[in-house]
Amino acid sequence: MATNTLQAAAPISTSLLSDEEIARRVLAGETALYEILMRRHNQRLFRIAYGILGDSDEAEDVMQEAYVRAYTFLHQFEGRAQFSTWLAKIAVYEASSRSKKRRRVEALPINSPREKEVIESMRSSIRDPGQECLRREAVSFLEQAIHALPDIYRTVFMCREVEEMSTAETAHCLDLTEETVKVRLHRSRQMLQNELYARAGATSSQAFQFMGERCDRIVRLVLERLAGLQNPQEPSVTATAGGPQISPTESE
């Protein structure tokens, strides 16, 4: 089968299908199902890319590149690792490449007036109708604090605490040992000042949400880019020099 455009979106009776089954069906020609994979993994890829780069706009660019590369090399996915891990690995590769070219860390000053204001607000506040506003403020402050972490700690923290990936999966995606992941996670928690983090009343899973209009925009942009590509199963698609060789990432 040969077609140069993605099919129109299929009826979503596929919500119970695994990522791996959807990937097989995309390779078999049901290319419209690729949108389901994007919507399932948008938030995870955003959080991972942001963890490496510390920049929302760049993280979104990484997401697009990761999805296009995953689609192009989908024939190399052999199922030895979970699809979500395979996809995350591609995003890590792309984000790390960008990070090496341009490091831009914007640290939040320690004990800044803003920090003191938030701390005092949390200390004096009690549960009342204004609590939700305070919670949102705390989430915002938490995001700033995570952003201020050094790259190597922020990346691990985002994978483990924000995205709730396992130690093994985080180690696989970042090419680290599990012990290194544990050490960096411990140090990142210390840097985030655990007592203040607990007072914020916000769980880490609430931070860096990637839904609604932002999710729709990324899906639309990727679909536009994929529209002119060949089907992923066609053998004429080959890796470019310096591009990610996907298969070796599934060696575990």
Q: Going by C-beta distance under 8 Å and a sequence separation of 6 or more, which residues neighbour residue 10?
A: 30, 32, 33
pTM above the 0.85 mark? no
* Local confidence pLDDT in tens for the 252 residues of the chain: 334 445 544 444 567 789 999 999 999 999 999 999 999 999 999 989 988 888 888 999 999 999 999 999 999 998 778 899 999 999 998 998 888 776 543 444 445 455 455 445 444 444 454 555 655 666 777 777 788 788 888 889 888 888 888 999 999 889 899 999 999 999 888 887 654 554 555 556 666 677 677 788 888 889 888 887 777 765 544 444 444 454 444 434
- Residue 203, pLDDT score: 54
In the chain the domains, ranked by start, together with CATH numbers, are 19-104+211-236 (1.10.1740.10), 113-206 (1.10.10.10)
Q: Going by C-beta distance under 8 Å and a sequence separation of 6 or more, which residues neighbour residue 50?
A: 56, 59, 158, 208
